[in-house]
Amino acid sequence: MINSIIDLQKFKDIIEYCKRCGFCLPYCPTYEIHRRIETISPRGKLLMSLGIITGNLRIRLRTAELLFSCTLCNRCSQACPAGINISDTLLRTRILLFKNKLLPHSISKIVSNMILERNPYGVDLNNKNFWFDFTSMEIENKANVAIWMGCTTALKRPELAAHVYEVVKYFEKSVAVIDNEPCCGIPLLYAGDLEGYYRSLKESLKAISTTKASIVITPCPSCLRAFRQFPQLFNVKVPFRVMHVIEYLWERIAKKKSMKLEYHNEVSVTYHDPCELARHMNIYKEPRELLKSINNINFIEMNNSGINSKCCGGGGLYMGFNFDKALAIASLRLYDVPKGVKIITTACPTCESILSVAINNSGRPLKVVDIVDIVHEILFS
Amino acid sequence: MSVDDRIDKVLRILRETIGEDKVIDEEEELYVYGFDATPFYFSKPHAVVRVSSVDDVIEVLKAAHSYRVPIVPRGHGTSLTGAVIPISGGIIVDLSPMTKIKVEPDNGVVEAEAGATVAEVDLECNKYGFFLPPDPASAEVATIGGAIAEDSGGMRGARYGTFRNWVLALDVVIPGGKLLKLGAPVYKRRMGYDLMQLFIGSEGTLGIIVKAVLKIIPLPESISRFLVFFDNIENAINALKEIRFSKINPLIMEFMDLETIRNINEIFKLNLPEHEISLLIDIDGYSSSLIEISERVVKIFKRHNVSEIIQARSDEEAKKLYAARRAAYPAIARRYKIIYSEDIVVPLSKILPTLKEIKNIERGYGIDIVTFGHIGDGNLHPNICVKERDPELIDRAKKIFEEICDIAIKYGGVVSGEHGIGIQKLLTFKRMLEIHNSLDLLEYMRRIKQIFDPYNIMNPGKILN
């Protein structure tokens, strides 16, 4: 499997199916935000990848910067007549760039943060436990169900981390967490460091094994992919069931209509599909059914939702690579909020974080929350 | 002064006049702007200039004219004939940042800058209950400027023709930097020789279209959609003929051959009935009258021994039938690395023999030809499909391409209905004129080009060699 990722002939073979029709162009958020310049389009990036493989385009730092101008949202693939999985293909290109030691400065910084501090933000790993202060519940380290919080939730949204823990604990007798949880390795994979991801994965699996859990729940779509999807690249079998917290809550609350929740007042909400949860992991139904099952919540679909959902700009390390442009993409996403809606829900700490900044900048009477926040509010108010 | 010196001079001028950030000569841009949607052509420009206003375009064409630097206008690079490949180098003028759209429903027109996509323009019109009739398959990505320069058509071509029929006025910048305001934003106009029409379909060889005013019409109140299947192509064609003779003028008349349906079923598992030919027919009108017209259409199909009729009973079903036709290209794009998309037009009475001859060619060469297209206006798209980039297979495909063009020429048709001439059909176009005893037209065309573009800087090597 791993050999096929870095096999240039196979890589070339995939790109050769590209008909250069450009049908992907209107679906690319970075292309749009860069005023439609071809080098930032999915087609342009595939062509540059082909140029690099065939030796017709030399790799330099600028090439890498253009190729990293991508959120890996994969919306482009929905429009590709040739059926190319464009974000997977561009991930291969990143692996090639990493092998050639050509990474944009901000991406190199993320990689070095990962090496030095085992998280992409470069903060002391001890801060991963900071969210413990936000809950009065007892923290446990061994249980059948464990929470894998992920760097962004634990470090950037400690209140959400506490909410996740408390909500899961509402349903379980015992829930374990990992002291100084390491990173799942996804930032390294998205930087093109395939081996680095593998090392992180092994370290993460070892850390999880200390909890003795058979079910691991995470609020982060990237971490979910790190344990559910990408281990296949290395034929690694993950020895537990990994679930996104929304899948878990859907099973507990909405699947068998076993529990009826009621929000404290009537409110219209919409849902922003995180690209990694939706297009990459095919999780569309669960968040919708969960929201619709709650009394007093009037669920209205966002424009451009589901498989055609627009990206928030935060994925694929793009927020770390070019924050201003990522924020501009998030600001565009706000135009898809239907009239009358005051709350955008989502299920990804990165989406929530950047949409929240976009809302603050826009001055619009909107707020963005994780679905877990809503469930927590109902269960614990 | 050498070519490189002249180009350097022009780029220096442009950096001063329109701004440093709009003039790009970095390796990556030169590489990716060297392609379009054709499978083989590639040639790097010397620079890419990203214009954002008419004034920018004027400055570009002033400088390029003075220093005789080739100019290739480009929208989103969706040409299927190499029309935006800079075969002589020079400067690609990227119009994609020019995207303003203004709908004037009271006047029944829409004004759009060259870089707005056809779909964006149509969507704006839809908000007022109107639509833009030409609908190229690439509408979501093709720009208005490109669609006019290529005189694109689409599925509604049988009823509404190509862009030529819908452009009322054009703003065009010609070499030297002069802005020509052609036509007028009204439905009827006599303005001497219609110079505006010269620019439509001129493939960027006369000047740069920067803005257009197009006629728009009200959206149909209701549409009745059919996907019907025949085991005999002649029966299908006769059914269409009878529909027309019954004073019914369908909005869409599309066809797919058996190979197309088989590919769609194999790739997308749509489980469509597999018969010799299938037709997608849209009848529009008021819902009250559509029931009666639809019944008449069904009777006509039955009189001509239709094998299966699927009539959409809801918007959802109608979307599915349309999606089936739209799946035709993706189905072959997933199976074959290289697709030569033909674009011939034959008289309606010659569709049947043309399709038969295409089948014979396929048998002779052993290369797959998957044919679908606009049967209502005789514009057929036989797609010559090659699985690998094998030189021998490609060579055979190229021969097939020429033979299919020859069929169209033989029947008094043309080698391109909506994709254009570009580089791909230069020789075929010339051969067509020769066979039609019209070769001298090329000379008139050259003289016209010389009036607007005396130094042949506008998209050299396209249409005219």
Report whether pLDDT(B219) > 90.
yes
Q: Is B183 helix (H, G, I), strand (E, B) or coil?
A: strand
Report whether pLDDT(A6) > 80.
no
Q: Is B25 on the interface with A (CB under 8 A)?
A: no
Residues 6+ apart with CB under 8 A from B109: B103, B168, B185, B213, B214, B215, B216
Report whether pLDDT(B216) > 90.
yes
Strand-pair partners of B228: B279, B309
Residues 6+ apart with CB under 8 A from B241: B348
Q: At what angle do helices A42-54 and A8-15 cross, to 10 degrees?
A: 140
Mean per-residue pLDDT for A146-167?
Answer: 97
Which of B141, B338, B387 to mutate: most A Cβ within 10 Å? B141
Q: Is B40 on the interface with A (CB under 8 A)?
A: no
Distance separating alpha carbons of residues A287 and A345, to the nearest angstrom: 9
Q: What is the 3-state secondary structure (H, E, C) of B210-254?
A: EEEEEECEECCCEEEEEEEEECCHHHHHHHHHHHHHCCCCCCEEE
CA distance A275 to chain B (A): 22
Q: In which order are the strands placed within the sheet that holds B109-113?
A: B101-104, B109-113, B208-215, B167-174, B178-183
Report whether pLDDT(B386) > 60.
yes
Mean per-residue pLDDT for B419-425?
Answer: 96
pLDDT recorded at residue B21: 97
Q: B90 near B62, Cβ under 8 Å?
A: no
Q: Is B424 on the interface with A (CB under 8 A)?
A: no
Which of B28, B121, B140 to mutate: most A Cβ within 10 Å? B28
Residue whose pair of structure tokens reads 């080739």 in the numeric block: B70
Residue A359 CA to chain centroid, in angstroms?
Answer: 20
Mean per-residue pLDDT for B263-273?
Answer: 96
Which of B22, B24, B25, B32 to mutate: most A Cβ within 10 Å? B32
CA dist list (Å): B400 to A355, B366, B388: 54, 10, 16
Which of A16, A32, A38, A97 to mutate: most B Cβ within 10 Å? A38
B88-124: per-residue pLDDT in tens?
Answer: 999 999 999 999 999 999 999 999 999 999 999 999 9
Residue whose pair of structure tokens reads 């935006």 in the numeric block: B84
Say whether B26 and A56 touch across the interface (CB within 8 A). no
Q: Is B256 helix (H, G, I), strand (E, B) or coil?
A: strand
pLDDT recorded at residue A258: 78
Kind and range of the H or E element at B373?
Answer: strand B368-374
Handedness of CA B20, B21, B27, B33 (dihedral sign): negative
Distance separating alpha carbons of residues B372 and B383, to the nearest angstrom: 8
Q: Is B263 on the interface with A (CB under 8 A)?
A: no
CA distance B175 to chain A (A): 24
Q: How much is the ipTM here?
A: 0.96
B273-305: per-residue pLDDT in tens?
Answer: 999 999 999 999 999 999 999 999 999 999 999
pLDDT-derived band of residue A381, with 50, 70 and 90 as boundaries? confident
pLDDT recorded at residue B206: 98
Of B28, B329, B337, the CB nearest to A48: B28
pLDDT over 90 percentage in chain A: 94
Report whether pLDDT(A211) > 60.
yes
Say whether A23 and B138 touch across the interface (CB within 8 A). yes
pLDDT-derived band of residue B145, with 50, 70 and 90 as boundaries? very high
Q: Is B29 helix (H, G, I), strand (E, B) or coil?
A: helix
pLDDT-derived band of residue B245, with 50, 70 and 90 as boundaries? very high
pLDDT recorded at residue B1: 87
Mean per-residue pLDDT for A293-322?
Answer: 97
Distance separating alpha carbons of residues B224 and B246, to the nearest angstrom: 17
pLDDT-derived band of residue B61, with 50, 70 and 90 as boundaries? very high
Distance separating alpha carbons of residues B61 and B138, to the nearest angstrom: 28
**A and B: number of Cβ contacts within 8 A:** 89
Q: Is A44 on the interface with B (CB under 8 A)?
A: yes
pLDDT recorded at residue A8: 85
Q: Is B380 exposed, middle or buried (0-12, 13-18, 19+ CB in 10 A)?
A: buried
Strand-pair partners of B9: none
Report whether pLDDT(B355) > 80.
yes
A107-134: per-residue pLDDT in tens?
Answer: 999 999 999 999 999 999 889 999 999 9
Say whether A19 and B39 touch across the interface (CB within 8 A). yes
pLDDT recorded at residue A7: 84
Q: Residues of A with CB below 8 A from B333's CB?
A: 17, 19, 21, 81-83
A230-245: per-residue pLDDT in tens?
Answer: 999 999 999 999 999 9
Q: Is A79 on the interface with B (CB under 8 A)?
A: yes
Q: Is B191 exposed, middle or buried (0-12, 13-18, 19+ CB in 10 A)?
A: exposed
Q: A230 near A187, Cβ under 8 Å?
A: no
pLDDT recorded at residue A4: 65
